[in-house]
Amino acid sequence: MDYQILTFQVTEKIGLITISRPQVLNALNATFFLELNALLDEIVERDDVKVLIIRGEGEKSFVAGADIGELTSLDPERAYHYSKNGQDTFDRLGALNIPVIAAVNGFALGGGCELAMACDFRIASRNARFGLPEMMLGLTPGYAGTQRSSRISGLGNALYMMLTAEMVPADDALRMGLVQKVVEPEALMEEVMKLAMKMASNGSAALKTVKKVIRQGADLP
């Protein structure tokens, strides 16, 4: 497949996906979901990827949300399927049998925050800003952010983020449990790669089993 938005490279069993639409702060559109699904098809068939990292190109934004221009052209039926496709894609990402790390720089808003939450955990630069501001547009988060946010950061924090539509700085996101570590912007990828290599040094079967049973157990009563 000829990728327009995503780039993918593998180094020492670490896969790195970069979202590259810096002109619109890496906003998500239909092409992004098409390409991410194609990449996931490839990754599940590869034996040389033990950890996956997702980042946004540039210092300003991980992903600043969905492409509003594209959304406004949708009728209700197409909007439903657009949202369902996003949910299904992020479910696939979370269900990968390898750890997935979001390296969050700059804005992670709306769909970008939901993408980060679909990953297994999040490492943020100090300039990161998280938010679910859909309420300001009279909408709800479309990619299952209403469900993931409470599971990750607790009911009160999830309601606060969505009902106020406020942006949450990296240090507050750490306090809320939304991110696991905050580092200086220039150290973000170095820290994420270090963590990824530490995980990749573990046995493949144990790595996959631990992720599987933790994920499955979290959804049980």
Tokens 């790595």 found at? 207
How far is the C-alpha of 144 from the C-alpha of 117, rounded, in Å? Answer: 10
CB distance 81 to 106 below 8 Å: no
Closest residue by Cα to residue 118 from 33, 203, 61:
33
Q: Which of 12, 35, 114, 166 is catalytic?
A: 114
Cα→Cα distances 5→53, 68, 141, 184, Å: 16, 17, 23, 26
Structure tokens at 159: 């309601």
Q: Is 114 a catalytic residue?
A: yes
Q: Reply yes or no on whether 45 is catalytic.
A: no
Q: How far is CA 8 from CA 1, 21, 133, in A?
A: 12, 14, 29
Active-site residue, from 57, 134, 184, 186: 134
The residues carrying an active-site annotation are 114, 134
